[in-house]
Structure 1
Amino acid sequence: MRKIYVIDTNVLLHDPQAMFSFEDNEVVIPSVVLEEIDSKKRLADEIGRNARFVSRELDRLRENGHLHDGVALDNGGSLKVEMNHRRFVRVQELFGEMTNDNRILAVALNYHMEEQEREGGGCPVILVSKDVLVRVKADVLGIMTEDYLSDRAASPSDQYAGHLTLHVHPSVIDEFYTYRFLGINHLGLNVKLMPNEFVILRDELGTSKSALLKVSPDGHRLEPLHLSNDPVWGITARNAQQRMALELLLNDDIPLVTLSGRAGTGKTLLTLAAGLMKVEDEHKYKKLLIARPVVPMGKDIGYLPGEKEEKLRPWMQPIYDNLEFLFDTKKSGDLDKILMGLGSIQVEALTYIRGRSIPGQFIIIDEAQNLSKHEVKTIVSRVGENSKIVLLGDPEQIDHPYLDAMSNGLTYLIEQFKAEGISGHVTLEKGERSRLAQLAAERL
């Protein structure tokens, strides 16, 4: 049955292609949405870019006819710009003043009432919004409502972790220790393994016999880890997943690494230690570039006093804290002297590395869960020859207003590259910062 989807502004600002994602159904954009899009198009960030893209697409669709009458889309559906919010009485009775959200609700309600009056009940009307309270209000009005899910990389239950545990006959484990590799088919299990995925083999008979292996880049066999558990810049892996992370971080044949996990699992510390070893000890890369997106919870960076370095310091302090630990500094100011003397470590806001081509560097992007799909594409596509890029983040801690655990750039990148032999991923699960930090991450 054909459906009518009324689209909220936040859906288009989150995914400017959203208007083409509803198959052969009717898409309705309330006129107030155009006003909100227009108010955002001068912004210099991702939201402004999306607003400008939506504006250009709507202008292009005008070539197919009048938008207020509805125009056909290539997917068999149609799109219409609707001003039908004049019957505002019912919404006003429940929610008061005519805010932009309430105008959008009025459009959806009027469509719903008109369809209900048709013979046979008409078409279902569904309001699509990423705003939880708008969806709650729609439910109060009796309107069907949905979150926008078309751009989600994977459902929570299907997220790629980069490692799994398999229970096998002990003879399989013995065979691995004898020959130092296993063919994928030798497992005798119907399991699809990805390149560079880690596998923990455990004895199905219940003994303590086990083995930690990694899928080869071509995905054909299981191999032992190449690295011992020796300290890396004074840091030793405390659990199996941290050891997996170091295996990826120190492998020069894997130029793209993603690490996810809750606060305190060691993502940033392990990555900084690996980067320092590669840059300062092995001289594999010319520079260690560390960046994180500036997603403010208060005043933006432009409003803070001082020069660029002074403005960046509060945002980059978690990076500096980890560097102070690795360099074992004792006094305030010691780290700045060390960084100035080395000259090969650069800490930047992500804003300042966009548009650059970055060859021969070990690049760390922290808090990558606050990046959109487009921003991740922009960053990764700038990586030059002989560079390695590592993206870190916790998809459960997102500060961006239009992203969630399933639609952020980090999750998207993990899912898109999980089958590629040049990339590797590990989800770190065990907190190692302190017992208190682990309990806080689990219970708060």
Structure 2
Amino acid sequence: MTAPLTIGFDFGTTNSVVARAHGDHCDLVELDGPAGTDPVFRSALCFWEDAAKPGGLGVAAGPWAITEYLEFPEGSRFLQSFKSVAAAASFEHAFVFERRYRFEQIGKLFLSQMASHARGALDARGARLIVGRPVEFAGHRPDETLARQRYDAMFEALGAEIHYVYEPLGAAYSYAARLDAPATVLVADFGGGTSDFSIVHIAAPGTTPRCTPLAHAGVGIAGDRFDQRIVEHLVLPMLGKGGRYRSFDKLLDIPGGWFTDFSDWSRLALMRNRRTLADLEKLRRAALDPAAISRMIAIIEGELGYQLYDAVGTLKRALSSDSHAHFHFESENLLIEADVSRADFESWIEPDIVRIEAAVDHALTISGLEAAAIDRVFLTGGTSLTPRIRQLFEARFGEGRIAGGGELTSIAHGLALIGQQDDLAAWTV
């Protein structure tokens, strides 16, 4: 039987990657960008008003979205991390220049823009499309049925036979190609929105099947949550968090919902709408510290969310290599800077580390294995480069069993290879 053309699609919270496989041949899809080609495509969209475009809106995705946004932030709407609301029943639509976009509409726009930079490589008609999905979706009480419906509506635009596979299984299959002996492997995939774990047994080369899944677990916590912790501790106190406002003759705490939305990139991008800004202006007039609320309004009105989270990401990456780093965010009327130690950052994310470790324990429990039975731990995903994450696994499994590599591309590569199997039943969700 001739193996079909398969396309592995890693639709990530932060970045998306695609690979194509046919027989033993598997390649990452290079996508055109302003600075050249790259297989890693930012999961972002930028909208701007343009009467010459269909519907009166121009749209760009990936690195092109960032370029368009930075040229004219005040006249743009920048959406990022929209995957994080896939399973949220509370998310009905996003307002973009007073137009409503459902999740699947945003997703289709993203895919069409991505395809336009792929030189035909995303033409999936007649192919198997293997789409990665998290073990557990991000968000409070995620609705998996709703997420599946939204994914179906989004990816049907590619015109392919769609199969869903847990993202860490894709990474496991990619990692298997590097092993020349049997091993029981824990794959830990740390992305932007979720941390997912699969335990698989990898047989010797030439064995069919090469990989046998044993257990899966996940938690809706990863890199975006770590970013939120930095915003909570460094930025929000200057924007009114912990402050009070006057209501008639009473002094009340400013509701925490404002800061919850602001610290979540997927929600911050949607706060620039008439109703929200009117409510914030009303709060500013009643606040005991109106300047703090004015700073929040300035960031939202100026569409400065990207710059803010870019500064947060710069700090986080610096703390991955250094014990201390300097946080700096500056706009026309606002300056936030502070020296931050890695110890500070790790104390902020410790509640999240506890939940991540509990998910690892759950995967081991489901598999019926003790930590000593794990021969290799394969860490993948951008957040796996965070030192505190690596420390967690070194403490549990020993430094000698830890492996990494292909942090941003291993999932798509493995998904495409999985699609080459005659029977996908053991892999698909």
Give the TM-score range, shorter chain.
under 0.3
Per the normalisation by structure 1, the TM-score is 0.24
Select the structure of larger CA radius of gyration: 1
Per the normalisation by structure 2, the TM-score is 0.25
Q: Tell me which protein shows more strand as a share of its residues.
A: 2
